[in-house]
Amino acid sequence: MRWVFLVVAVAVLFSSCKVIRPRVKIIETPYEAGPVPPPPDYLASAAWVAHPDKEDPSDEVPKGCPIPAAGDRAGVSVFFLYPTLYIGKSRNGSWNADARDRALNKKIGRSAIRYQASVFNATGRIHAPYYRQAHVSAYFSKDSVSAQRALDTAYADVLRAFKYFIGEVGGGPFIVAAHSQGTTHLIRVLREEIDGKPLASRMIAAYLVGMELMASRFDSLVPCTAPAETNCFVGWRTYATGYYPDWYAAPVETPVAINPLTWTADSAYASRDLNRGGVLWRFNKVLPRVCDAQVLDGVVRINRPWVRGRKHIKIKNYHIADYNLFYMNIRENAMLRTRAWRENNRR
């Protein structure tokens, strides 16, 4: 039946990242016990899952999307970091993925790059590096030393890729965006390379999605609190209304959460009439009015997505669909902020 397909589609993704606690395979051995894969060479096109000089899934547009990809007309560059897809049993006990792993790289392209990075192709030329992402264990293991070493290894790649990106795109404006583990690393990039530095003036906006995001992490960068603000950052995590994960504890500082339907930080309810469209895992249509959104407790709350068979949807944590649920709103917002940045910098 059609509704069964839709419920499964919502459950298995709007389909980019599967960091779901019951499926986590924790690495039991310490970091130094496993091999460390070699770092990617970002001078080689093979080190990039998405790049302007190659055809890749970031160029795709869902069927029925009213806003085409800009292609060579794009005057902005986008640096995108994908989420954790190194899950399940680790390769040879390694805490970090091998950036040459063909099966994993194929999965990255067909999921996160297609469903998430492509949202920005109406605005800019997308650069997304392969990196030695940390195994999902890094977020759940009690071995905090090994977890941090794995994240540091991944970040070393991300930092080199970002510096290469900045050198390649010259002096023009850019957008940075990420999801989940990608956001973990992108926050660090912002702190070390952009916050309070000349690059901040060229950054149109940062989309830091899927992780707890504290304004205090930055000295000068501030949250965007209006749809056309620039040189600022947005972020959100998506949960069902009234849901709290079993690990949730109210933080001392309320996390930043920007409503992706209104692009404001207030708690005003945004009905699904403001949702310009989400995408499902087949990427074969845009579903308008797919969900509502409201910022509460430092996260974005939604009611069940408005698809046929919605009463059967039992999902409470919509982490895997942080981008997909608001695909068209993000697409339009990136274009709006880019126009605003250009207008501001003509003066």
pLDDT in tens, 160-213: 999 999 999 988 999 999 999 999 999 999 999 999 999 999 999 999 999 999
pLDDT at 175: 98
Q: Which amino acid belongs to residue 8? A: V
Q: How far is CA 133 from CA 29, 97, 147, 152, in A?
A: 17, 5, 11, 10
Burial class (CB in 10 A: 0-12, 13-18, 19+), 122: buried
Q: Which amino acid belongs to residue 202? A: R
Which carries the bigger pLDDT value, residue 90 or residue 48? 48
Average pLDDT, the chain: 91
Residue of 131, 123, 121 whose CA lies nearest to 56: 121
User: What average pLDDT does the segment 308-318 reach?
Assistant: 87
Burial class (CB in 10 A: 0-12, 13-18, 19+), 187: buried
Please say if the pLDDT value at position 35 is more than 90: yes
**71-80 pLDDT per residue, tens:** 888 889 999 9
Q: Residue 203 and residue 221: Cα distance in Å, rounded?
A: 11
Whole-structure pTM value: 0.93
Two structure tokens written together for 341: 């940045």
Residue of 225, 114, 87, 98 whose CA lies nearest to 157: 98
Q: In which residue are the tokens 């130094």 written?
A: 32
CB 47 within 8 A of CB 99: yes
Two structure tokens written together for 197: 């530095």
Could you tell me which residues are beta bridge partners of residue 126? Answer: 78
Q: Residue 147 and residue 150: Cα distance in Å, rounded?
A: 5
User: What average pLDDT does the segment 254-280 reach?
Assistant: 96
Q: Residue 176 and residue 196: Cα distance in Å, rounded?
A: 16
Q: Which amino acid belongs to residue 42? A: Y
Q: For residue 226, which phi and psi values (nearest 5 degrees)? A: -145, 155
Give the count of beta carbons closer than 10 Å to the beta carbon of residue 217: 17
The DSSP-derived string for 147-177 is HHHHHHHHHHHHHHHHHHHHHHHTTS-EEEE
Residue of 13, 128, 114 whose CA lies nearest to 69: 114
